[in-house]
Amino acid sequence: MMRGPGRRGAPMPAMSLKGQGKLLARVLRFIMKNYGVHFIIVLLCIFATAICTLQGTLFTKELIDVHIKGILEGTSTFDYLLQRLLRLAGILALGVACSYLQQRIMVVVTQGSMLKIRNELFTHMEELPIKYFDTHSHGDIMSVYTNDVDAMRMLIGGSLTQLVNSSVTLVTTFTSMIMLSPIMTVLSIVLVTLTMLVSGKLVGMCGKFFAAQQENLGKLNGYIEEMTTGQKVVKVFCHEDKAQEGFDKLNENLRSAAHNANRWSNTMGPINNNFGHISYVICAMVGSALAIMSGGKLMTLGKLITYLSLNRNFTQPITQVTQQMNAIIMALAGARRVFDLMDAEPEKDEGYVELVNAHEDENGNLVESEKRTGMWAWKHPHGDGTVTLTKLEGGVVFDGVDFGYNEEKQVLFDIDMYAMPGQKIAFVGGTGAGKTTITNLINRFYDIQDGKIRYDGINVNKIKKDDLRKSLGMVLQETHLFTGTVLDNIRYGKLDATDEECIAAAKLANADSFIRKLPEGYNTMLTGDGSNLSQGQRQLLAIARAAVADPPCLILDEATSSIDTRTETLVQRGMDALMHGRTTFVIAHRLSTVKNSDCIMVLEQGRIIERGTHDDLIEQKGKYYQLYTGNAIQQG
């Protein structure tokens, strides 16, 4: 198939902090949209857990300054202490229950979000134009579904809640520290600010490497997918070493990006921990000095021990936040690729002409029918409110069509041609002449730059794409069979077809005889793209798939080029039966198969240079004559 140029796996620019913030906000909006109530309950549980945990730390001051001191001085009793301990135990138990509830709810939120993300990804992917798949590696797309979605799972299920938890702990702890000692809190803030400045620098350095890691992982997966599907070609040409060389290069790029990302991220932990230890020591020294110099007025023993515990709790969340930032940055790199796929421009369809069931009334006029009648019509609404029905016959006209896959390179020039209903039109020419491109324009896989294409007299741009493609049957050179039974694969051409219709289509395609010889006949399971069938058998199933749809117009894209001459005869019979009474466009590798065409178009560099019947073109002794005689010599 002729494809437009496109960059596969082109590196994305590194994200700025603003870009990362927007991505994180989008993830949060996605969660709130689908699991808003759940997430609010989780936030309440996190807040309750933080408050309960803080009560345990603050109790240290009361224990030392009130209870121990009171018992020693005779102003307090063990019974009162026991009551306070039981109360504290109840508070801590509540914190444990809230933490457990938070974890259980987050499992629902995380797995549910993954389900919805994959559903949205696949739904949107089905709406993307063919051009997207021409310019993006299939393995790279698969990497979005696996690695990048999994990175989002870790973000939603782990890093995000940990970030919220640490932030709540930070706020509640900071508030308590101010209430205990404003002077000491100022000192803690100075030390924490220094920690955050260093961590911020490291986070910025990590971000670009984590993004590169996800990009290189997608490229590596794309390469593996390409080498796996092309393994026969690799072995035929003895390119195992070359394939290994390419893999080693991509693998090294991934290793290098991952190494740089983890090298800087792993530095963060020790640096933050050491800053925490330094902060603890300095606060202990200053607090002890305040206690001694003020005689216990500014700082008591219980208050000092409690403050030091709070200081540790204050630096620990900051350390956790900075550590989580690495995971969040990596996850956001994955989220960016997920959202890029979600945001890819879908296939536009501005058509309004529909394909409907119809029948003729007693006066011979077409009337729309709610039941399947075997007759189809184009339902064409007009601006004045009227609606006309045009019988679907399969007439196609190209009028001055120009086309290019991009603005820089035009591949078709001023294509003029017509196919009357029931005619067989063949396209011949060298590789890259534009044969497949023309057929791709009929079913609007791509839209033209200039000119008009009319189908039964209607501009194809006015016809809804689904309805247009429903009226066209295609048999491609590369046959793709899905995992399922033979019957399922034939029925793919018409999902509501009965078993009898599928079997009739197989008989029409000359596939019935070989199918019945399979282990379980029509119920034989096909896997691995029909690897247990020969190329000719797979091609016959593709013809049966097109036959069951019973389309008025057919496109046969070099359907016999990859099979032997003997099998070709069998396949050709199936195609001849399928083509009978239908407008057919044939792209032929073997020119002997198009001799009986009503018109043969000879293309060269995107232009039609000759047209006519086989006999006419042979008499002209032009390009077709050269192709035909050279082709005959090769086959002979």
Residue 116, domain CATH? 1.20.1560.10
Residues 281 and 381 in one domain: no
Question: In this structure, are 333 and 439 located in the same domain?
Answer: no
In a domain, 5, yes or no: no
Q: Is residue 465 part of a domain?
A: yes
Confidence at residue 587, expressed as pLDDT on a 0 to 100 scale: 85
Note whether 201 and 315 are same-domain residues. Answer: yes
Q: Are residues 380 and 400 in the same domain?
A: no
In this structure, the answer to whether residues 372 and 387 fall within a common structural domain is yes
Position 108: which residue type? V
Strands 424-429 and 583-587, bridge-based pairing: parallel
Q: Which residues of the chain have pLDDT under 50?
A: 1-11, 632-636
Domain span at residue 454?
396-635
Residues 248-270: tens digit of each pLDDT = 888 888 888 888 777 766 666 67
Tell me if residue 332 falls in helix, strand or coil.
helix
Whether residue 423 sits in one domain with residue 367: no
Structure confidence at residue 381 (pLDDT)? 92
Residue 250 lies in a domain: yes
Task: Please report whether residue 1 resides in a domain.
Answer: no
Q: Which two tokens stand for residue 41?
A: 């309950």
In-domain check, residue 12 = no
What was the pLDDT predicted at 375?
A: 84
Q: pLDDT at position 1, please? A: 34
Strand-pairing partners, residue 398, are: 417, 453
Q: Do 180 and 228 belong to one domain?
A: yes
Statement to judge: residues 499 and 404 lie in one domain = yes
Residue 349 lies in a domain: no
Predicted TM-score (pTM) of the model is 0.69
Of 314, 343, 372, which marks where a domain is finished? 343
Residue 3 lies in a domain: no
Whether residue 446 is found in the same domain as residue 368: no
* 381 Ramachandran zone, left/alpha/beta (phi>0; psi -120 to 50): beta
Q: Are residues 623 and 502 in the same domain?
A: yes
Is 375 domain-assigned? yes
- Domain count for the chain, please give it: 3
The per-residue pLDDT for 44 is 92
Of 541, 536, 551, 539, give the one whose Cα is nearest residue 485: 541
Question: Is 339 found in the same domain as 279?
Answer: yes
pLDDT digits (tens, 9 = 90+) for 271-285: 666 766 777 787 778
- Among residues 571, 602, 596, the alpha carbon closest in space to that of 584 is found at 596
616 and 582 both lie in a single domain: yes
Query: Distance between CA 485 and CA 349 in Å, rounded?
Result: 33
CATH of residue 481: 3.40.50.300
